[in-house]
Chains A and B, each alone.
Chain A
Amino acid sequence: MTAVLVGMFAAPLLVCIALLVGGALTSRLDETASLRLRALAGWISVAGTFTAFVLALVGLFAVQAGEEPALRAVWFEVGGLEVPFSLRLDGLQAVMALVVSAVALLVHLYSIGYMHGDRDATVYFAELSLFTSAMLLLVLASNFFLLYVAWELVGASSYLLISYYFQRPEAAAAGKKAFLTTRVGDLGLLVAVFAIVSQAGSFDYDAVFAWAAEPGFAGAWAVAVPLLVFAGAVGKSAQFPLHVWLPDAMEGPTPVSALIHAATMVAAGVYLVARAYPLFEAAPISLDVVAYVGAFTALMAASIAVAQSDIKKVLAYSTISQLGFMMAALGAGAPSAGIFHLFSHAWFKALLFLGAGSVIHATGRQTVARLGGLAKRMPVTAWTFAAGGLALAGIPPFAGFWSKEEVLAGLAVHHPVLLGLLLLAGFLTAFYIARLFFLVFFGPEPVDAGEYTAEGTADEHAAAPGGAVAEAGHGHDAAGSGSRGAWSGVKESGWVMSLPLVVLGVASLIAGFVGTEYFGRPLQDLLNLEPAGAAAAHEAPVWLPWVATLAGLAGVGGGWLAYGRRAGRSGGRGFDARLEGALGGAYGVVARGYLVDEFYSRVVIRPFAAAGRFAWRGVDGRVIDGFVDGLARVVIAAGGLVRRLQSGEVRDYLAAMAVGVILVVALALGVL
């Protein structure tokens, strides 16, 4: 069993190392070997992830059978504090491992097609494998120290992958922004870990939870620790107010967005809260904070998504919103509902992203205004996207319906106001995803559809300098100048990309059944997260599923009405224009994310930059450089004085000698 545990995170890690070493060795020395490695890199990493997936399955079955696989070793000791390297699998962690490895596997496979011809593909797959390994390590860890280490590793690989097209300044900036913003949250988590080890005396989950369960557990630390942990989750899971990095992170390749910023990494925050639930339970006010933040974020992000014109940005805000749903459920005392939603969200959100990637890969565009009428040419993409969209909108029998219903049920008892917010968010969710679907796949084809980059032209990718412009060909709207009026040449993506779409499409349909009450809630039983005595709280109002479905249908219907029905020249885009006209300036504010970024820029970044400039010019420049320069100047001046002795005049030297002799004589005489 230890082999299972270790192998799960080690396999992708070894792949990463192998690819890096191989890439480094071949890139300068052997051109043909380098190219061959590039072609194989994807399949090698698929092999690694497949191994991890199989091991995750094995682990899941073992846990279901009642086993408790665990591994514990002492990593190092510092001043009497023992830092362990310990892994384990229980219900929650086994489910997470399965989700992570399964989605990772599909994304790795998909990437082979998507990144075909990219010059730095070897590095890409190495980084992707690194991420997979780090994420698996995160969910396998059974002590807070290792969790934090993996947490940071995940953040680092996210940074690497977001700025994959680093030659684009926007991509480099986005990577920085993601890293720095999550850093703010990570700081909270770090302080929490320090507090935990200093108060509880150990890093191990079990020991810490036992400490939290003690009757005397109260006071400032009891509230501060879960809140600090939640701060880390806020950063990683892009909740308000640290959500600003996720839309920018769409600069990364779309498979990266699918894996990291939809299904797995951002879910780490949700996992963290669920894993550390005993800490939160001991301080009920922390749970309230979680619930309010989650619900607020859900509604805010959903409203922004309605006004976005870039496919990936819509999906990014959608992710933020859905994570808010999960957080709300966790905060309301229904952690299994939150994890259940995480489970089903991973499938359909990854599907939606990969579908978007398929569109971008085939057409070279990602702005809604320049797309349309793709359903005929890319049926697989279109209909799997529809499945994902229906799941997101919460329409039965798709997965999203079941998990969202559980979330809403969890809120119903104690937080009716938040329930209302989430229902409204659900309506908006359905609306924006329907909007997206109709605008991209239906309606008239855009006038200048002549210019695009087809998936098959590998040389286009290879020829692009440094691979950076490849993504420029991969969206960011490659400039079009022809006007053929039809998507001539655009076709469905190859099997390597379409297969994951189909698999995820099926998953979006059936994944919900593992958590619904009609099948006895096997998922929740496995998770075993519910606080004692909470089983009774699952008596949700009977009308809830109907209202939720109604909200979803209303959203979809509204979307169809606004965007799908018009077959005229303007297509669905006319509605956006009318909406903008009706709301005026408010529309712009919403579309720009309620100006949160602008706020940060003014209130946080500018003072920091000013302080940095002061430290640079004022302190380093004037004080330190001044001191060093001053020293040099003193030395030079002293030298200048001494130099006057070297007059080059013989008689001056003679005079000096005479003086010397006088001194010697005086010494000899005893005068001196």
Chain B
Amino acid sequence: MTTAAVTLSSVLFAIGVFGVLTRRNAISLLVSVEIMMNAAIINLAAFSRLYEPEAMTGQVFALVGIGIAACEAAVGLALVLAVYRRFGSTDVDSIDLLKG
């Protein structure tokens, strides 16, 4: 089952990357990022069973990871809303004031 888990994780991660690079909407970007994060967390959970299962280290870090993901989603969405207020749009491509 470990191999299955690892395979699933890679596939989901790839899907997430595709989404991140492709979508123009800021919120869609965050959705894709969440997909990526979950893929990583699956990996963590799977590996928890392999090395010292009593210590549950993988699961602890998976929890931490979920916590971090929550924080990131919160702050990210707050940023999206602030940007929306400033620019009137959530199109990531239109926010290019730092263009060199």
A interface residues (Cβ-Cβ under 8 A, vs B): 643-651, 654-655, 658
Inter-chain contact A651/B92, CB cutoff 8 Å: yes
Once A654-B20, A655-B21, A658-B17 are accepted as A-B contacts, the answer to whether A649 and B93 lie under 8 Å apart by CB is yes
Chain A: minimal CB distance from B43 (Å): 14
Once A658-B17, A658-B21 are accepted as A-B contacts, the answer to whether A651 and B93 lie under 8 Å apart by CB is yes
Extra pairs beyond A650-B92, A651-B92, A658-B20 (20, CB < 8 Å):
A643-B100, A644-B100, A646-B98, A646-B99, A646-B100, A647-B99, A647-B100, A648-B96, A648-B97, A648-B98, A648-B99, A649-B92, A649-B96, A649-B99, A650-B95, A651-B21, A654-B20, A654-B21, A658-B17, A658-B21
Inter-chain contact B100/A645, CB cutoff 8 Å: yes
Contacts of A643 in B (CB 8 A): 100
Contacts of B24 in A (CB 8 A): 651
Q: How many residues of B contact A (CB 8 A)?
A: 13
What total count of A-B pairs have CB within 8 Å?
33
Chain B: minimal CB distance from A483 (Å): 80
Contacts of B96 in A (CB 8 A): 647-649
Question: Complex: how many Å from CA A407 to CA B97?
Answer: 94
Question: Complex: how many Å from CA A646 to CA B100?
Answer: 5
Contacts of B92 in A (CB 8 A): 649-651
What residue of chain B has the Cβ atom nearest to residue A662's Cβ?
Answer: B17
What 1/0 flags go to B31-74 for Cβ under 8 Å of A? Answer: 00000000000000000000000000000000000000000000
Chain B: minimal CB distance from A664 (Å): 14
What residue of chain A has the Cβ atom nearest to residue B93's Cβ?
Answer: A649
Among A643, A646, A651, max chain B CB count under 10 A is at: A651
| 11 A-B contact pairs sorted by A residue (CB < 8 Å) | A643-B100, A645-B100, A646-B99, A647-B100, A648-B97, A648-B99, A650-B93, A650-B95, A654-B20, A658-B17, A658-B20
Question: Complex: how many Å from CA A650 to CA B99?
Answer: 10
Chain B residues 75 to 100 lying within 8 A of chain A, measured CB to CB, are 92-93, 95-100
Question: Complex: how many Å from CA A646 to CA B98?
Answer: 8
Contacts of A651 in B (CB 8 A): 21, 24, 92-93
What residue of chain A has the Cβ atom nearest to residue B97's Cβ?
Answer: A648
Contacts of A647 in B (CB 8 A): 96, 99-100
Contacts of B98 in A (CB 8 A): 646, 648
Chain A: minimal CB distance from B26 (Å): 8
Question: Complex: how many Å from CA A650 to CA B92?
Answer: 7
Contacts of A650 in B (CB 8 A): 29, 92-93, 95
**Which residue of A648, A654, A655 is within 8 Å of B100 (Cβ)?**
A648
Question: Complex: how many Å from CA A409 to CA B96?
Answer: 101
Contacts of A654 in B (CB 8 A): 20-21
Question: Complex: how many Å from CA A654 to CA B20?
Answer: 8
